[in-house]
Amino acid sequence: MPFYTLLKKDPLTKARRGIVHTAHGDIQAPFFMPVGTRATVKTLSQEDLHAIGAEIELSNTYHLFLRPGTEIIGAAGGLHNFMSWQKPILTDSGGYQVFSLTDWRKLSDKGVEFRSHIDGLKHFLDPERVMDIQSILGSDMVMPLDECSPYPCSKEDAAGAVRRTTAWMQRTKDHFHKTGMDARGQRLFCIVQGSSYRDLREQSARELTAVDTDGCAIGGVSVGEPVKEMFEVLGWTIEMLPEHKPRYFMGIGMPDQIVKAVSMGIDMFDTVVPTRYGRYGSCFTDRGLVVIRNGMFKADFGPLDPECDCHACKNYSRAYIRHLFNTGEVLGLRLAAYHNVHYYINLMRRIREAIDADRYDQFCADFLTKYKSELINM
Amino acid sequence: MPFYTLLKKDPLTKARRGIVHTAHGDIQAPFFMPVGTRATVKTLSQEDLHAIGAEIELSNTYHLFLRPGTEIIGAAGGLHNFMSWQKPILTDSGGYQVFSLTDWRKLSDKGVEFRSHIDGLKHFLDPERVMDIQSILGSDMVMPLDECSPYPCSKEDAAGAVRRTTAWMQRTKDHFHKTGMDARGQRLFCIVQGSSYRDLREQSARELTAVDTDGCAIGGVSVGEPVKEMFEVLGWTIEMLPEHKPRYFMGIGMPDQIVKAVSMGIDMFDTVVPTRYGRYGSCFTDRGLVVIRNGMFKADFGPLDPECDCHACKNYSRAYIRHLFNTGEVLGLRLAAYHNVHYYINLMRRIREAIDADRYDQFCADFLTKYKSELINM
């Protein structure tokens, strides 16, 4: 069984329809991965995710390594069992989190030493250790330790990150095979770095493609750079990636960014946006955000999103959800997060249907117009 | 249609099986009412309550009067519509909450002036106003404004509270009928006061029974008095209450207290205990509380309660729920509250089955023994 089946290409854009095959089931691509940093998608249950139609969940190696620790997840028989989620899981490497601890880490070619954000205890991660942890987690897709450049970043630093990321990728792949992770059905990605420098992005993509992983991710994006620059990076990089492997645009993004990135050939997305915005009471619709605390909704007994048929929209009113937010009641967070994750999952379904029908170009134009997206002119 | 149908009496105890009939459906008695103070049972959705098997929900007039306000609930067409709960609702009068604001209220025979705990604004509630609010809420069962004595309480003060409660009850009933609440299918309770004084309890019960309401509640209990004293009060009072009306023991209690109170003839219960304990990670079982943060559960992959078949116990492990509590994740609160409310609702089902089978005496003894309850010797 191949890891990725390319079903069809859209005639007018670079959008593609495919299937990602994993040990825990197939995933129709392009797809969105709800983020369950600590083995839970904030405020939602795994049954909620099933009801929403999520086909995969993403968790975070760094956070799970610290709490509850790999020993406990290992004793549970892996992350699927620990969190009671038998569909596919992707775990990221923890690299992004560790590199965010700017003053708390010490970086060398060997690996990275850091202090836990919880108790300040020292830990050391290197490419091999990151694989060992994800081997215990048993994730269907695993990410290598990379060096994620901040924004802005000098060309010298960005070049160093590219060099280290490639070297670590080779060590990662060797360890991945040596320890039999591939034989146990796990799949390995590379992560292209290079900041906003075209030659570095191309170099990174070339070097990592040569290492030959199962899938390719574009990292070091959505780290504070202008959106225009982010899509430039995407354009340069995606040209370099092989067609027969899934492409993952890490940590992206707002709905219009996803629609745009699909048109450029991206297959996989993740972001905390739907759950985080939900917890702040901002709810996604095709016409933009509904900020539910707004006084204009106090006696609005219509649904959060009149075009949505999710559980929250079918059963509860804006006025009620606003009341829940105003009184600090957890059900408000739940309903807003539920709607938002449903919105993202459903958006991907609409995207796939449009590609299936050879009308992604039109879908994209219509969506960006209705959303009043700045991307319509990019 | 009568309000209460007495189906049968247990041969060896004073336990009774009955049905409470309301405009939003029947409720099998004895029953427990999950508390949704602000029109939401904390952390749970209305669909969760349906799945758990809750037949009625209790909300709080005082809290809803302040937020979102009766105007908004009125505009929604009442509380059932506002919160999307079409089963029966009981609302308490707000008396207990107002009287808890010891330094913030001014009491007279006319009514009670108080300052909101939210913004300090002055409000005035009297027996008529409390009915008007509950008329707008459209609750199936409404409670009158009463004067709830604190514990301990001088006999003089307790006698004053009994006098005022009776006077207010008469005003309440007059207003209830005059404004047609009865004609719209709402049902009115009285609330027996009298602190821990037998003669005052008997006087209060006698006076309120004479007013002739649809149901009878015992208030001013579980306000800090010893459990033994609480059951003494229950014993004195229940003797005075008519058999053909449902009896509600307000704000009670722990599982063993409910089992005991049913054996003395109580039909209705409410308490925030299952949700509050759940939020603190304390989960009910027949053998007592499981405190899920306890380190002994860190690699315990069994269910919260091995004897429970609720959604939380069927799908998630103690180790996982402990992890959720340790990392402050909302799903932990949800699962623990879900289990606890299910435990209470299921306990009432078991109680009803035992009465149906003429074996409540044995059920009571077995339950209190297994629970290691101090009530076994009372």
Residues 24-43 of A with CB under 8 A from B: 38-40, 42-43
Q: What gap in Å lies between CA A339 and CA A285, rounded to an integer?
A: 9
Report cis status (omega within 30 of 0) of the bond before B152. yes
Nearest CA in chain B to A314: B84
Q: Are B215 and B241 in contact (CB under 8 A)?
A: no
Please choose, from the candidates A285, A218, A231, the residue with its C-alpha nearest in 3D space to the C-alpha of residue A261: A231
Please choose, from the candidates B265, B232, B236, B266, the residue with its C-alpha nearest in 3D space to the C-alpha of residue B251: B266
Domains of chain B: 4-271 (3.20.20.105), 278-364 (no CATH)
The stretches in chain B having pLDDT less than 50 are: none
Q: What gap in Å lies between CA B157 and CA A101, rounded to an integer?
A: 62
pLDDT in tens, chain A (378 residues): 899 999 999 999 999 999 999 999 999 999 999 999 999 999 999 999 999 999 999 999 999 999 999 999 999 999 999 999 999 999 998 878 877 777 778 889 999 998 888 888 899 999 999 999 999 999 999 999 999 999 999 999 999 999 999 999 999 999 999 999 999 999 999 999 999 999 999 999 999 999 999 999 999 999 999 999 999 999 999 999 999 999 999 999 999 999 999 999 999 999 999 999 999 999 999 999 999 999 999 999 999 999 999 999 999 999 999 999 999 999 999 999 999 999 999 999 999 999 999 999 999 999 999 999 999 988
The pLDDT assigned to A105 comes to 84
Q: Are A71 and A101 in contact (CB under 8 A)?
A: no
Q: What gap in Å lies between CA A141 and CA B286, rounded to an integer?
A: 42
- Angle at CA of residue A282, ends A281 and A288, nearest 5°: 160
Q: What gap in Å lies between CA B376 and CA B158, rounded to an integer?
A: 30
Strands A187-192 and A215-218, sheet pairing: parallel
Q: DSSP of A65-121, one letter per residue? A: HHTT-HHHHHHTTSHHHHHT--S-EEEE-SHHHHHH-GGGEEE-SS-EEEE-TTT--
Instruction: For tokens 């897709």, name the residue.
Output: A141
**Nearest beta carbon to residue A331 from set B40, B67, B299:** B40
Q: What gap in Å lies between CA B194 and CA B326, rounded to an integer?
A: 44
Residues 6+ apart with CB under 8 A from A377: none
> Given CB atoms, is B116 within the 8 Å cutoff of chain A?
no
- Angle at CA of residue A119, ends A116 and A120, nearest 5°: 55
Strands B282-285 and B288-291, sheet pairing: antiparallel
Contact at CB, B329 and A42, closer than 8 angstroms = yes
The pLDDT assigned to B95 comes to 78
Q: Which two three-digit tokens encode residue A261?
A: 């990135």
The pLDDT assigned to A99 comes to 78
A375 residue type, one letter: L
**Nearest beta carbon to residue A298 from set B68, B315, B334:** B68
- A-chain residues within 8 Å CB-CB of B298? 68, 72
Residues 6+ apart with CB under 8 A from B31: B20, B55, B56, B267, B268, B269, B348
> Given CB atoms, is B293 within the 8 Å cutoff of chain A?
no
HEC-encoded secondary structure of B36-90:
CCCCCCCCCCHHHHHHHCCCCEEEEHHHHHHCCCHHHHHHCCCHHHHHCCCCCEE
Contact at CB, B47 and A317, closer than 8 angstroms = no
The pLDDT assigned to A101 comes to 76
Contact at CB, B323 and A44, closer than 8 angstroms = no
- A-chain residues within 8 Å CB-CB of B75? 299, 301
Give the full edge-to-edge strand order of the sheet including A122-125.
A105-107, A112-115, A122-125
- Angle at CA of residue A222, ends A217 and A226, nearest 5°: 130
SS3 B278: helix
Structure-derived torsion over alpha carbons of residues A135, A141, A146, A149, reported in degrees to the nearest 10: -150
ipTM beyond cut 0.85: yes
The pLDDT assigned to B344 comes to 98
The pLDDT assigned to A138 comes to 98
> Given CB atoms, is B87 within the 8 Å cutoff of chain A?
no
Size of interface A-B (CB pairs under 8 A): 112
Give the full edge-to-edge strand order of the sheet including B89-92.
B31-33, B268-270, B247-249, B215-218, B187-192, B141-142, B89-92, B57-60
The pLDDT assigned to B100 comes to 78
- B-chain residues within 8 Å CB-CB of A39? 320, 323
Read off φ and ψ for residue B357, nearest 5 degrees: -95, 15
Active-site residue identified among B92, B256, B267, B305:
B92
